[in-house]
């Protein structure tokens, strides 16, 4: 097994029939917390295995979302594969799946059949658009849901929309699925009954989109795309301090606005300017205000501007590339790095951020090779 220490979910058995990111990431987090996660894969394996081979022969996405699990190959289209899967489900606490619209039903594992096999099972079905409605049968990936939910309409610049640079819908959905599963497990502790959970990627991202959507609902207007700046707060984002330098800072309070004007920009006249009195005013008048802020930052210079922002207690940070993240001194100081095993040898990754497991108790988790644990897991069922 690839256990990582006892953890608060020690003794919990999770079966994952997942591919890509949503279901695998949700299941991996349960493994991070101590659950025994059995990843059931078709003979061809999770499609994410073939994205690339940059992590010791494993793909970056697959290694990230699947370490700490046991991999079992079952052909669920075959009678023997379905029989073995049914035996797995009979002894499981949680099932997580995202095979595509109607796939589990076609294989004979509808919610009703699963509940008959194991009345205590927490059955978490993840889909793009849910199990009802006109889009229920559509396939979905992160990019498509970013578009459907309006995220791309507020991401990018005024020249055009952009997708978020990571699989944010998959991650968002995985976290809501994780929360729902944990809530269902708590409920089962008193009812001794399982529960079916219907998690939709669109539902999850729609919840995250409500702040800008409220503007649409209540004003009839959507916030504009503002690139590296906030579309509902000013000043908030990246402001140039020279031809190739910028500072990244955030103003959210009246006090911080006053301090910025007086102690950083040396422009006390902006503090009481009627067009900039509060955030709503500053957003409405950003076309005039933001060039004024940048002009003053240029005159101050990057190093002095950064020094003043820090001294004034204004929230400010760097805009790192990924090399900067990997070498980030804060992550190093907090011992946030650990090692996982891959088919090509050890590889570094950040520790799961739950911070509930004593690192001294944890074994080194591994990215499972396809079907690595088939024999051992099936032997446990006999």
Active site residues: 230
For the chain, where are the alpha helices, taking DSSP H only? 22-32, 60-66, 79-90, 103-106, 111-117, 142-148, 168-191, 201-208, 210-219, 254-259, 268-271, 279-284, 286-300, 302-311, 322-326, 329-333, 374-380
CB atoms within 10 A of CB 33: 20
Local structure of 346: helix, strand or coil: strand
Task: Give the pair of three-digit tokens for residue 210.
Answer: 């409500």
CB atoms within 10 A of CB 3: 17
Rounded to the nearest 10 degrees, the angle between the axes of helix 210-219 and helix 201-208 is 70
Q: Strands across the sheet with 13-17, in order?
A: 70-73, 36-41, 13-17, 94-97, 122-127, 195-200
Partners of 215 in beta bridges: none
Give the C-alpha separation, 199 to 127, whole Å: 6
Give the C-alpha separation, 299 to 311, whole Å: 18
């Amino acid at each position: 097994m690839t256990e990582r220490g006892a953890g608060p979910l020690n003794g919990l058995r999770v079966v994952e029939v997942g591919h890509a990111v949503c279901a695998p990431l949700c299941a991996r987090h349960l493994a991070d917390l101590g659950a025994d996660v059995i990843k059931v894969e078709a003979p061809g394996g999770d499609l994410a295995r073939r994205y690339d081979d940059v992590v010791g022969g494993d793909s970056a996405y697959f290694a990230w979302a699947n370490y700490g699990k046991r991999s079992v190959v079952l052909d669920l289209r075959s009678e023997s594969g379905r029989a073995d899967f049914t035996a797995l489900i009979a002894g499981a606490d949680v099932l997580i799946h995202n095979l595509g619209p109607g796939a589990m039903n076609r294989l004979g594992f509808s919610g009703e059949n699963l509940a008959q096999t194991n009345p205590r099972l927490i059955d978490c079905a993840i889909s793009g658009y849910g199990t009802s409605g006109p889009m229920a049968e559509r396939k979905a990936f992160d990019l498509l849901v970013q578009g459907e939910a309006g995220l791309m309409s507020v991401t990018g610049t005024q020249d055009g929309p952009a997708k978020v640079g990571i699989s944010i819908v998959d991650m968002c959905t995985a976290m809501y699925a994780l929360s729902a599963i944990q809530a269902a497990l708590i409920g089962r502790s008193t009812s001794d009954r399982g529960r079916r959970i219907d998690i939709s990627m669109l539902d999850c991202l729609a919840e995250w989109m409500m702040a800008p959507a409220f503007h649409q609902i209540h004003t009839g207007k959507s916030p504009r795309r503002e690139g590296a700046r906030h579309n509902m707060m000013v000043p908030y984002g990246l402001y140039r301090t020279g031809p190739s330098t910028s500072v990244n800072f955030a103003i959210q309070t009246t006090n911080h606005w006053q301090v910025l004007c007086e102690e950083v920009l040396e422009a006390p006249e902006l503090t009481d300017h009627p067009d900039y009195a509060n955030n709503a005013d500053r957003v409405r008048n950003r076309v005039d205000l933001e060039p004024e802020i940048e002009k003053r930052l240029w005159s101050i210079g990057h190093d002095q501007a950064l020094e003043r922002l820090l001294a004034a207690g204004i929230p400010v940070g760097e805009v790192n590339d990924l090399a900067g993240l990997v070498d980030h001194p804060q992550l190093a100081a907090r011992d946030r790095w650990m090692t996982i095993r891959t088919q090509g040898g050890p590889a570094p990754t950040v520790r799961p951020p739950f911070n509930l497991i004593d690192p001294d108790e944890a074994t080194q988790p591994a990215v499972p090779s396809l079907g690595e644990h088939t024999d051992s897991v099936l032997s446990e069922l006999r």
